[in-house]
A and B are shown apart, each in its own frame.
Chain A
Amino acid sequence: MAESVYSKVGGRGAPPVYHHIDPINAYHAAKFGMWLFLATEILLFSVLFTAFAIYNWAYFESFQHAATKLDWKLGGLNTLILLFSSCTAAIAVYKAQINDNQGVVKNFTVSFICGLAFLVIKYFEYSAKYRHGYFPGTELWNSAEFSTQYKNYFGLYYVMTGLHALHVLIGMGVLLWVIFLARRERFSEKYYTPVELAALYWHLVDLIWIFLFPLLYLID
């Protein structure tokens, strides 16, 4: 009995039917829940920002010097890529609101490809670090001349950008799921909650990078 009252009724464009909440309220509840979740994400990163601030203050000169080892051009390119992908994500929400499922598919696909490009560039950055020896386990890293202060900077760099990259990956998964739904004409002006939530998450991924980029690449 319980299963049937909860299960989704209807299909194309119609909002799901729940036994405990009406569709309009469900939309607002989902959006509110998403914002709260985003708040927890920001707190998650804020601890890393705090740790970075503390060690940047404690090991100021080493951090300044270590930051020059990053390629700000690649970082900058990635910033542009993410900003652009955020723009297409916002357009996708608009497309859903005007019943254009194909528009959602197209714009989210662009965002998805941007995410992929971001990760590819990140991969090249990481492997360049590895070749130069600024990577845990390399000869230089383990040698005595590579001070704990440098390790601290690069360690935080890998944790912060790594966690961010994980978020990009999760975001891409979410986009893919919404693209799949949009291909089946799931959304309409009456129901576009997943599109909006996915876009919100994608904006957060973008936003965090906008803080990471100057903090890690541009501090010298």
Chain B
Amino acid sequence: MGAADYQVDEKGHLEKNNYLNCEKGLKSWLFTIDHKRIALLYLGAMILFFLVGGLAAVLIRLHLWSSDSKLLSPDMYNVLFTLHGVLMIFLFIVPGIPAVLGNFLLPLMIGAKDVAFPRLNLFSFWIYLLGALIGFIGLLDPVWLVSKIKGSAIGTWMPLDTGWTFYTPYSTSTGAGSGWGTIIMTFAAFVLGFSSILTGLNFIVTIHRLRAPGLTWFKLPVFVWSLYATSIIQVLATPVVGITLLLLIAEKVLGVGIFDPEKGGDPILYQHFFWFYSHPVVYIMVLPAFGIIGEIIPIFSRKPIFGYSAVVFSSVGIAAVSFIVWAHHMYTAGMSPFSQAFFSATTFGVAIPTAIKVFNWVSTMYKGAISFEAPMLYAMAFVFLFMIAGTTGIFLATLGLDIFYHDTYFVVAHFHYTIQGGAVIGLIAGLHLWFPKITGKMYNKKLAIFAFWLIFIGFNVTFLPQFILGVQGMPRRYAFYIPEFEPMHRLSTIGMFFNAIGYTLALLNLALSWVFSKEKAPANPYKALGLEWQAPSPPPHDNFINTPIVTVGRYDYGKPLEDLGLKGGVSG
């Protein structure tokens, strides 16, 4: 197709022949190799898992309304928090931002037509779905289900109840299948990991080889840098969890004692291998969110990003440090004092690049012309919530304090502040920011801001009390508790309602605006700089109609609009 086939209106909207409607039919979606369509496939699947995982959380919090609740049996309570953790971590937030916004935006941001390996990208999506399917089989106690169908049921039905960490030896002996559920689930994690590795590999090669002419490394968007750091972690950490699975199977089938003390193995070794992957994974979740916030704040402050290179290096720094902090999850598991001190010190080290980022965001806003649109509100909430997450992280990194806080609600609150307050808020912020680019429509701004306040208030009311509960000694993962904890638990449950309604409203607003809104989004609704805003909304299959030319820097805000080429309409 030539440029003549694209009729872009004066505001940069592309009604016909954009990537959404250039091909029709289910097959054109399921077998697409267009990075933008693959991003939407991921988004659809992930939102589904997010809702199921969220529903599990709602049930958990409802159960915790009273100290001796009869809503769920203790076994079912264990099953639900496992389901919640597994879905939210492995199926929702790990692929999360890179697979959706990363896939959609990376080629647009660097002026490429696609990622380096488009077929591999589609393959990643399919094995993601395959992994999800295997995961559900593993969760549902398959050995019992099979025995039930054969008519010789062993024991009672016990879906996976190990928590998302699958600690041995409990995880390899639970359920009717005495641990086979866990092994199938770990296999699912391996398959999902493969998807993650291939996405990461694809992104690294794309960033190295497909940048538009003139777009040098230190002109790259901070979001691209954060994707780069994330991809490095994906490629280097994920194989470790894959092979841990193989060792679990070897233990089960060959009777080799790797992790089971009865067979001469060491359960602590499992924890080391598990956290060697699963700690860096935390940064897979949150680093891309840092990048999104770094994009949003300059746009809505109309100021150049403060300390660009510090932001970039702190992303890469976090990725590097993330590999040497894993054992801070295991202070109470039995380690030499030297190891404990080492991991405590390295964990404190994470605070440095993270704090640099926070200072840079705040300094970017300083004396800026701030407009409080929905993405900006989410970004500011992110900075606020992540500061709480970070400072409570320091408490937990401190050896003496962690012995006390370990496995309490303090930890639960801390990681929800990082993962929900960080990664999920970042994802939602990004979805709002790039919604007009993705869909070619505009969302209802008032509703978006209303949903934001529900989420923000609901989130804090849910999780701030949990810090207090943790300090008072409420252990995590308990189905019952002493009556003294009831008020705080009730407050937390009330907050959960606002939070859940907020997310539902925000997502409904986006979904319904996409379907029903008549407002055509222009190419550049925020008068933002950066290559992706030069493409029409929604972009055509090849992203850009004419090869984009970089004339101004991505963060050159604060100059007159004429100088930036932004006066009047912006054509594609």
Q: Which of A19-27, A70-78, A111-119 contacts B (4 or more CB under 8 A)?
A: A19-27
Among B105-151, those with CB < 8 Å from A are: 107, 112-118, 120
Chain A residues whose C-beta falls within 8 Å of the C-beta of B269 in the assembled complex: 51, 54
Contact between A33 and B235, CB atoms less than 8 A apart? no
Nearest CB in chain A: distance from B277 CB, A = 10
Which of A29, A40, A154 contacts B116 (CB under 8 A)? A29
Contact between B202 and A33, CB atoms less than 8 A apart? yes
Contact between B273 and A47, CB atoms less than 8 A apart? yes
Asked if A144 lies at the interface with its beta carbon under 8 angstroms from chain B, I say no
Contact between B208 and A152, CB atoms less than 8 A apart? no
In angstroms, Cα B200 to Cα A43, docked, is 15
Asked if B258 lies at the interface with its beta carbon under 8 angstroms from chain A, I say yes
Q: Which of B236-244, B383-391, B508-516 contacts A (4 or more CB under 8 A)?
A: B236-244
**What are the interface flags for A4-31 relative to B under an 8 Å C-beta threshold, 1 for contact and 0 otherwise?**
0010000000000001110001001110
Q: Which of B246-254, B351-359, B412-420 contacts A (4 or more CB under 8 A)?
A: B246-254
Contact between B255 and A151, CB atoms less than 8 A apart? yes
Asked if A163 lies at the interface with its beta carbon under 8 angstroms from chain B, I say yes
Residue of B nearest to A33 (CB): B205
Contact between B264 and A152, CB atoms less than 8 A apart? yes
In angstroms, Cα B264 to Cα A59, docked, is 10
Contact between A151 and B113, CB atoms less than 8 A apart? no
Chain A residues whose C-beta falls within 8 Å of the C-beta of B201 in the assembled complex: 33, 36-37, 40
Residues of B in contact, count (CB < 8 Å): 50
Contact between A136 and B247, CB atoms less than 8 A apart? no
Nearest CB in chain A: distance from B115 CB, A = 8
Asked if B169 lies at the interface with its beta carbon under 8 angstroms from chain A, I say no
Given A47-B240, A152-B265, A159-B256, A28-B247 contact (CB < 8 Å): no
Given A25-B210, A33-B117, A39-B235, A151-B264 contact (CB < 8 Å): yes
Nearest CB in chain A: distance from B28 CB, A = 8
Contact between A148 and B117, CB atoms less than 8 A apart? no
Which of B120, B210, B235, B247 contacts A21 (CB under 8 A)? B210
Chain B residues whose C-beta falls within 8 Å of the C-beta of A159 in the assembled complex: 246-247, 250, 254, 256
Main secondary structure of the interface of A (DSSP, over half): helix
In angstroms, Cα B447 to Cα A65, docked, is 72
Given A47-B273, A155-B258, A41-B204 contact (CB < 8 Å): no
In angstroms, Cα B201 to Cα A29, docked, is 10
Residue of B nearest to A45 (CB): B243
Asked if A124 lies at the interface with its beta carbon under 8 angstroms from chain B, I say no
Which of A33, A37, A47, A58 contacts B243 (CB under 8 A)? A47
In angstroms, Cα B510 to Cα A72, docked, is 65
Contact between A2 and B250, CB atoms less than 8 A apart? no
Contact between B210 and A41, CB atoms less than 8 A apart? no
Chain A residues whose C-beta falls within 8 Å of the C-beta of B115 in the assembled complex: 20
Contact between B202 and A51, CB atoms less than 8 A apart? no
Asked if A149 lies at the interface with its beta carbon under 8 angstroms from chain B, I say yes
Asked if A44 lies at the interface with its beta carbon under 8 angstroms from chain B, I say yes
Contact between B23 and A1, CB atoms less than 8 A apart? yes
Chain B residues whose C-beta falls within 8 Å of the C-beta of A21 in the assembled complex: 113-114, 116, 209-210
Given A33-B117, A47-B240, A158-B254 contact (CB < 8 Å): yes
Residue of A nearest to B201 (CB): A36
Contact between A43 and B1, CB atoms less than 8 A apart? no
Contact between B235 and A44, CB atoms less than 8 A apart? no
Among B463-490, those with CB < 8 Å from A are: none
A-B pairs, top 6 by smallest CB distance, nearest first, are A155-B256, A148-B264, A20-B113, A20-B114, A43-B239, A44-B239
Instruction: Provide a sorted-by-A list of 7 A–B residue pairs whose CB atoms are within 8 angstroms.
Output: A2-B32, A6-B118, A29-B205, A148-B263, A155-B250, A155-B251, A159-B250
Query: Given A32-B204, A152-B264, 13 other A-B contacts at CB below 8 A?
Result: A20-B112, A20-B115, A21-B114, A21-B209, A39-B236, A40-B201, A41-B239, A43-B239, A44-B239, A47-B239, A59-B264, A159-B250, A159-B256
Interface, chain B (partner A; CB < 8 A): 1, 22-23, 28, 32-34, 107, 112-118, 120, 197, 201-202, 204-205, 208-210, 235-236, 238-240, 242-244, 246-247, 250-251, 253-258, 263-266, 269, 273, 541-542
